[in-house]
Amino acid sequence: MNKITNIAFDDRYWLLALFSGFALLAVALMFQYGLDEQPCVMCIHVRLWISLLIIVVVIRLLINRRPLFNSISHFIMTLIAIGLTERSYQLLGTERGFLFGSCNFSLGFPDWLAFDQWLPSIYGVETSCGYTPKLIFDITMAEALIVMSALFLIISSSLFVMSLFKKK
């Protein structure tokens, strides 16, 4: 149990999360600019969740010796995982046709939080929702995202619980 608990306090987990966040954004931008697959509003929401993940990880790495802040960081990561899983589910549901909703070109944020105007090359909505591109083995981006999001949710919530135990 002690080894598992120690993972919750290990900087290597946070560095892996940071690398994963940057890798996911890089893949999204490669599909957008390299393969001309334009992002929809839900894709941009996923990018925003991943960007928030990166910000939380950087803050956690800067303030890494405080156990309470470590637990708070794991809790925030769990909330991010929930948001990411929800957006991934919505994206998959739209792609597969088992969810119907409006998908427009507005991010749905107030004017003072205009990510699409501040960084349009990363957060600009370019197309309506419908399908996501195939990655490998006929797996679509939405299918891969829902699996990765669910795994991230399991890991982050487990590490949150483990972070509540004192490191020995």
Q: Residues with Cβ < 8 Å from 43, sequence gap 6 or more? A: 28, 91, 132
Q: Residue 154: its pLDDT value, please? A: 95
Q: Quote the CA–CA distance of 142 and 144 in Å, as a whole number.
A: 5
Q: Quote the CA–CA distance of 157 and 150 in Å, as a whole number.
A: 11
* CATH number given to 2-163: 1.20.1550.10
Q: Residue 56: its pLDDT value, please? A: 94
On the CB side of 136, CA atoms within 13 Å amount to 1
The DSSP 8-state label assigned to residue 113 in this structure reads G
Q: Residue 1: its pLDDT value, please? A: 58
Mean predicted confidence (pLDDT) in 137-157: 91
pLDDT tens, position by position, 66-86: 778 888 899 999 999 999 999
CB 87 within 8 A of CB 42: yes
pTM here is: 0.86
Q: Residue 101: its pLDDT value, please? A: 64
Using pLDDT thresholds of 50, 70 and 90, give the confidence band for residue 96. confident
Domain boundaries, the chain: 2-163
What proportion of the chain, given as a percentage, has pLDDT over 70?
86
Q: Residue 167: its pLDDT value, please? A: 58
CB 39 within 8 A of CB 28: yes
Q: Which amino acid is at 162?
A: M
